[in-house]
């Protein structure tokens, strides 16, 4: 019964929320890419990245967004590529991209890396070495045709794209991974409750809202002014993870993320999600420690923390290092023991920063290998 | 009485909403910059750009945003610089910047402009000429110290920065312009109604909300789940334009923007705003034609449309060209006459795209000259 209700909710969603304008192009590109790599026997990962928007008006002036620069997704995509995967990178428009992420979304302008030399623009000496390495990786991946970049803005665009790409990935069987790093809204404004025009803030001009209140279906608009206040009531998005596991991608390995801010509920929520959807791996992370530690929760390996060694943690991130371990009851002692050593002088210098995704992806690759073997054994048996 | 109420609302806002962490740095940088240019007798413009966010949680996972890539602000800043102004560019973090805007926020990765040549990274031949021109402009502006880049994310950071920078600009007298192109939220979540942690979407985990409901002050949180819905009620932001005109910047020329989606109310709303705040210029624009036409509404010149000639309009923008003129009753005939000519073949080819800001800024410079003369005449009398 619950199953039927979910299918109905999903059906209702896609019947009522229009597909993105570029869906045909997306499908054409994705089909060619996926089939080519399927033919070559390569593993393919769909990496979703960045936040989805929930527009409040059809002609959108205001929207609700989910915080994400796209760092997790863009960085993970690079390590999947390094590990031989073909990557479909479905990202929020203008969020970070693999490779170019090293030079965007920072406080400097891209032109600050450039200088004029003999009437030509070149990269300045200071940045040559690192950029050359990045450019070579990027060029190689492009030459091999192993990276497909797709984009979304709204929650509805995201869900349409996810559904269509997932279906196209079915021929990959267990060689497909879904690595769902995007920050997807749990709530949305249904099309039939969305006002057309910008919501007016002063009462003199909000009279027109009366015309829209009806919308022909008697349901009040989801966003509306009441007196001097703006009231928004949002409806739940159907649980697309359930659709993915049960319908769109029955054979692929599915990795979801759980971002929390409260350490006391992180592991519980990750376990709850794994039980509820019965997929393969939940990666739990806290907003304020997400670049230094994550927890893997899976049926295969139980609960497993992955942590960047203290002296190799990036500091270019406004996290709170004292919170590392706070969501992990087993780490309490280690944490206290560590903290006694934690003085400026005891930190070894000169060791390079370690991106946590460089630890996450090899772990996943190993699980994926087991996953493929198990599926093959089952099918062979 | 209304005045007193507004001042109270402003006072309450700044007493309750904490300043941005980097406010001191902002003030130090802005003071040095403004004083230097004031000493040199230069005109200074504060350009605000991009959208403000309204966080729903203290540890922000969800927020409300106002649509803006920052194109209007970044482009305008370049033309102000070209016209000799010093520019304080107060922009939403990661939104478009003057000069680098030509190479960011497009569908290509910045690395697509680069190639390897003799083990070095250089800009490829195809983009050399244009990028050299942009880099030269940028380098000159930096050398002359005429561009100060500041950033905000939230509505509260924006208002604090605006207030402090405006006060620092008072010594400039009428030589200051405030060019308020940022898309600023009319609504916000007061700090004392903001929940600390991520709002939980499923009922199993939302029990903690009870603890937060009280907040010690008996006011319900502004964002909360009710059953399976997310309810948000936002309070009005005090009218900072009034504060700017009456208090923070009594002598500067103030230019505000009015973005609408409904052509039938655009001019009325611009006029209403000009009457209400008694500042100097409202620039009205429609979401779907904003790169092709704007309307100036001022006491000085009345209502005046500025339009890019049809054959020089950018097409790299998902606007609706048929809406050009729709908010301007006087243009109806012209529009109809034009549309009869509007076939693919009749568009002259080869003329360069004209950015509407290249028409807007010289108009404003002219008004600013008159404004300075009038102030000087008044003060001399």
Give the model confidence (pLDDT) of B200-243 as tens digits. Answer: 887 556 544 444 444 456 688 999 999 899 999 999 999 999 99
> What stretches of A144-262 show up as alpha helix (H) in DSSP?
155-168, 209-214, 240-243
Q: What is the CATH number of domain A252-329+352-380?
A: 3.40.50.10300
**If you count residue pairs, one on A and one on B, with CB atoms under 8 Å apart, how many are there?**
195
With H, G, I as helix, E, B as strand and everything else as coil, classify residue A331: helix
Instruction: Over range B188-201, report the average pLDDT.
Output: 92
How many angstroms separate the CA atoms of A198 and B323, rounded? Answer: 16
Distance from CA of A42 to the nearest CA of B (A): 25
Task: For residue A110, give the nearest of B94, B104, B265 by CB distance.
Answer: B104
List the single residue in B with minimal CA-CA distance to A187: B230
B115 contacts in chain A (CB < 8 Å): 135
Q: Residue B256: its pLDDT value, please?
A: 98
- pLDDT tens profile B116-150: 999 999 999 999 999 999 999 999 999 999 999 99
Residue B251 has pLDDT above 50, yes or no: yes
Per-residue pLDDT of chain A (381 residues; tens, 9 = 90+): 455 588 899 999 999 999 999 999 999 999 999 999 999 999 999 999 999 999 999 999 999 999 999 999 999 999 999 999 999 999 999 999 999 998 877 667 789 999 999 999 999 999 999 999 999 999 999 999 999 999 999 999 999 999 999 999 999 999 999 999 999 999 999 999 999 999 988 755 654 444 444 445 668 899 999 989 999 999 999 999 999 999 999 999 999 999 999 999 999 999 999 999 999 999 999 999 999 999 999 999 999 999 999 999 988 777 888 899 999 988 764 454 444 344 334 445 567 899 999 999 999 999 999 999 999 999 885
Fold matches, A7-99+145-200+220-237 and A252-329+352-380: yes
**Prediction ipTM score:** 0.89
Over chain B, what is the mean pLDDT? 89
Taking alpha carbons only, the member of B79, B39, B49, B74 closest to residue B368 is B79
pLDDT value of residue B360: 98
Residues of chain A with Cβ-Cβ distance to B65 below 8 Å are 53, 62-65
Cα A283 to Cα A306: distance, rounded to the nearest angstrom: 10
- For residues B240-262, average pLDDT: 95
CB-based contacts of B69: which residues, under 8 Å, 6+ apart?
Answer: A94, B50, B95, B96, B105
Query: Residue A110 and residue B123: Cβ atoms within 8 Å?
Result: no
> What is the pLDDT, as a whole number, of residue A110?
82
Return phi, psi of residue A114, to 5°: -110, 155
Verify whether the Cβ–Cβ distance B228 to A208 is below 8 Å.
no
Residue A263 burial (CB < 10 Å; 0-12/13-18/19+)? middle
Nearest CA in chain B to A130: B121
Name chain B contacts of A123, Cβ cutoff 8 Å: 114, 120-122
* CB–CB contact B230 A187 (8 Å): yes
What residue spans define the domains of chain A? 7-99+145-200+220-237, 252-329+352-380
What's domain A7-99+145-200+220-237's superfamily in CATH?
Answer: CoaB-like (3.40.50.10300)
């Amino acid at each position: 019964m619950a199953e039927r209700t979910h299918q109905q909710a999903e059906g209702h969603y896609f019947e009522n929320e229009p597909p993105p304008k570029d869906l045909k192009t997306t499908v054409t590109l994705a089909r060619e890419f996926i089939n080519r790599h399927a033919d070559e026997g390569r593993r393919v990962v769909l990496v979703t990245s960045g936040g989805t928007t929930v527009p409040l008006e059809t002609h959108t002036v205001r929207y609700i967004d989910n915080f994400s620069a796209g760092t997790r997704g863009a960085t993970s995509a690079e390590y999947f590529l390094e590990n031989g995967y073909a990557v479909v990178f479905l990202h929020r428009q203008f969020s970070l991209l693999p490779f170019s992420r090293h030079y965007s979304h920072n406080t400097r302008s891209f032109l600050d890396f450039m200088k004029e030399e003999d009437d030509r623009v070149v990269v300045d000496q200071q940045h040559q070495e690192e950029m050359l390495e990045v450019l070579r990786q990027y060029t190689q991946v492009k030459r091999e045709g192993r990276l497909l970049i797709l984009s979304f803005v709204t929650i509805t665009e995201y869900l349409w794209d996810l559904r269509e790409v997932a279906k196209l990935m079915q021929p990959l069987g267990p060689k497909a991974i879904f690595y769902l790093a995007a920050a997807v809204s749990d709530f949305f404004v249904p099309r039939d409750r969305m006002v057309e025009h910008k919501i007016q803030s002063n009462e003199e001009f909000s009279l027109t809202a009366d015309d829209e209140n009806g919308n022909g279906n008697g349901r009040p608009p989801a966003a509306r002014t009441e007196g001097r206040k703006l009231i928004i009531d949002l409806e739940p998005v159907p649980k697309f993870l359930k659709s993915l596991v049960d319908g769109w991608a029955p054979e692929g390995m599915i990795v979801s993320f759980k971002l929390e801010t409260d350490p006391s509920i992180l592991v519980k929520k990750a376990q709850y999600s794994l039980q509820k959807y019965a997929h393969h791996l939940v990666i739990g992370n806290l907003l304020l420690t997400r670049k230094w530690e994550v927890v893997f929760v899976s049926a295969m390996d139980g609960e497993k923390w992955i942590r960047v060694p203290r002296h190799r943690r990036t500091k270019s991130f406004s996290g709170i290092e004292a919170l590392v371990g706070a969501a992990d009851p087993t780490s309490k002692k280690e944490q206290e023991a560590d903290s006694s050593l934690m003085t400026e002088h005891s930190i070894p210098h000169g060791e390079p920063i370690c991106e946590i995704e460089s630890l996450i992806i090899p772990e996943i690759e190993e699980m994926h290998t087991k996953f493929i073997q198990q599926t093959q054994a089952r099918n062979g048996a």
